[in-house]
Chains A and B, each alone.
Chain A
Amino acid sequence: MPELVTKIYKLRKKRNMQQAELASLVGVRRETIGKLENGKYNPSLKLAMDIAKVFDKKVEDIFFFKD
């Protein structure tokens, strides 16, 4: 099964943004952002879209499958 990976960490670092800051912008806990960055949680479509909106990107630019 292909693994879902994210670019959240890179994008967050590029914008000098803390996990807590991103978490509050998308309405989740800081722990959820941590698990997303480590690939240990698959977000809902709404959360993925909210995160994409924060970084002004498309969902598929941030979340993609790695074979």
Chain B
Amino acid sequence: MIFKRKELSYVNSVIFKYLLNGCGWFFFAITYMFIEHTVFHILAIIFISVAVITTLIVLITKREDEDEMAEYNLHKAKALTFDLAYLALLIVGTYVLVFHKNTTFDFMVIYPIIAGSVGALEIIMSCIFIYLEKAGD
């Protein structure tokens, strides 16, 4: 009996690589803020495991090759997400400069914000990519 290994479509590989991975990081960051509680600690482990598993799936599964339209859409989605991240960083930077000039930040407070932001950016990027793949240029 010959088993044909199922190929992961390119859009699905982006969903695993960025959307589910981003969700894992995002929810990990939220639960990390309340890590002292056992329930949130367990949830944080589960969410970070989701990020690890989705990355592994993309690495070990046979994937459909990227073609020029996928490459174009992915670059466009990444560029748009970068613009949004840049704008968000400018707004946060301005806010900190105006209202918290002499404040020092605890890394344990900043870490989940950074992790959550990375997750949110991956989610936004994959959503833009999926939209471009469906709607076209």
Q: What residues of chain A have their CB less than 8 Å away from a CB belonging to chain B?
A: 27-29, 31-32, 35, 38, 40-44, 47
Contacts and interface: CB of A to CB of B under 8 A. Distances in A.
B71 to A, nearest CB: 10
A39 B69 CA distance: 13
B70 A29 contact: yes
Contacts of A29: 10, 64-65, 67, 69-70
A29 B136 CA distance: 14
Nearest to A33: B69
A28 B65 CA distance: 8
A28 to B, nearest CB: 4
A29 B133 CA distance: 11
B104 to A, nearest CB: 50
B68 A31 contact: no
B106 interface: no
B36 interface: no
A40 B133 CA distance: 10
B137 A42 contact: yes
Contacts of B69: 28-29, 31-32, 35, 41
B10 A41 contact: no
Given A32-B68, A40-B136, A41-B69, 20 more contacts: A27-B67, A29-B10, A29-B64, A29-B65, A29-B67, A29-B69, A29-B70, A31-B69, A31-B133, A32-B67, A32-B69, A32-B70, A35-B136, A35-B137, A38-B136, A40-B135, A41-B72, A42-B137, A43-B68, A44-B68
